[in-house]
Amino acid sequence: MAGKDRILVLGPTGAIGRHIVWASLKAGNPTYVLVRDTPPTVNKPRLVTAANPETREELLQNYKNSGAFLIQGDMNDHQSLVNAMKQVDVVICSFGRLLIEDQVKIIAAIKEAGNIKRFFPSEFGLDVDRHDSVEPVREVFEEKAKIRRIIEAEGVPYTYLCCHAFTGYFLRNLAQIDITVPPRDKIFIQGDGNVKGAYITEADVGSFTIEAANDPNALNKTVHLRLPANYLTLNEIVSLWEKKIGKTLEKIYVPEEKVLKDIQESSFPNNYLLALYHSQQIRGDAVYEIDPAKDIEASEAYPYVKYSTVDEYLNQFV
C-alpha cells in the first residue's frame, strides 16, 4: 500500500491554516509548513483574532514536536518556493484576503516544479463562481475567481474548497456587530431570517480539507461543505439559542435597503462583516444545486467525518 501524500501548508499559523496542519498530522500525512526566517513586521487588520493561545513561535515549535517538517521559504523568493514544492505532493494555501493575488507566485512555482498532484488555493468561503455579493467582499471574491481561472488555464491540478460561514465570524455573536458573544436581549436579523446558511467550525474546515486532499475523486472538483445539522436559517439558529437560555429575544428584522446603507456607511471591519452576512442571509449565496460532474457535497462524500454542530457550538456560551 502506497504511503499518503506529502502535504505542504502555506499560511500555517493563521486562523484556518493551523487547523489544516493539525488535521494533516492527525490523518497521518507527512506534513510540511512553509515558514519565513522572520515573521511579518506589519500588523494587518484582522476580521477575527485566531482563537488560540499560542504565539507564532510556540505554534511552529508544537508543529515540529508533533512531526511536521518546517521548510524555509518566502513568497517573494521564487526559487525557495520551487524547492519547497519539489519536496511535497499536495499544496494547500490558507492565505488571508490581502494575499489572494500573491497566489500567482505559487502557481508559477508549481508549474516549474512539475510534480504537484493537487493545489488547494485559498478559498475557504462561499463558492466564488456562485455569488451575488456586494462590496467590499465582492472584490475579494472576484480575486479568488481570477485565481481559479489562472489555475485552470495553466493546467494545474486543483481542488476548490467552499466551506461558507466560519463559526468564528458568524456564530460567536449570531452575526451581530461589535459584540463577542451571542446576545441575550435583542438581535438584529438581516432580511426575514429564513434564508439557509452553511456554518462550520474552523477546526472542522481543517478536517474536511485533508479528507478532500486524500480523496482522488476530488481532483479538479469543488468540494462544498454544507453539513446537514449546520445548514440552517438564522431564525432556526436563534430558536436554538433561545431554548438554551430559556428566554425569547426581541427580533429586529432589517430590510435589505437598510443593510446596504449600513454597509456603505461603515468602515472596516464592520462593512466587510455586514457584507458577508448580507451575502448569506439575504442573497442566499449558500443555496444552490451542485453539478455532480464538477462538484462534491462533503456530507455525502465523507459521511463518516464527525463535526461540531451549531447546537453543540452554542453550548459554550450558555
Burial grade of 2 (CB within 10 A; 0-12, 13-18, 19 or more): exposed
Q: Tell me how far CA of residue 69 lies from CA of 20, 52, 91, in angstroms.
A: 14, 21, 14
Between CA 90 and CA 64 the distance in angstroms is 19
Nearest Cα neighbor of 130 from 284, 312, 244, 311 is: 284
Between CA 301 and CA 210 the distance in angstroms is 13
Instruction: Please indicate whether residue 144 is annotated as part of the active site.
Output: yes
Between CA 36 and CA 29 the distance in angstroms is 22
User: 69 - beta bridge partners?
Assistant: 32
From the candidates 64, 144, 261, 294, which is the catalytic residue?
144
Q: How is residue 228 annotated by DSSP?
A: G
Contacts of residues 235-239 at CB distance under 8 Å and 24 or more positions apart, as own/partner, are 235/189, 235/192, 235/193, 235/194, 237/171, 237/174, 237/199, 237/310, 237/314, 238/174, 238/187, 238/189, 238/193
Query: Helices in the chain by DSSP H: which ranges?
Result: 17-27, 56-65, 78-85, 103-113, 137-154, 167-170, 202-213, 234-245, 256-265, 270-281, 298-301, 310-314
Between CA 8 and CA 12 the distance in angstroms is 9
Between CA 32 and CA 25 the distance in angstroms is 9
Per DSSP bridges, beta strands 7-10 and 90-93 are parallel
Instruction: Return the residue matching grid coordinates 462550520.
Output: 200
Which are the catalytic amino acids?
144
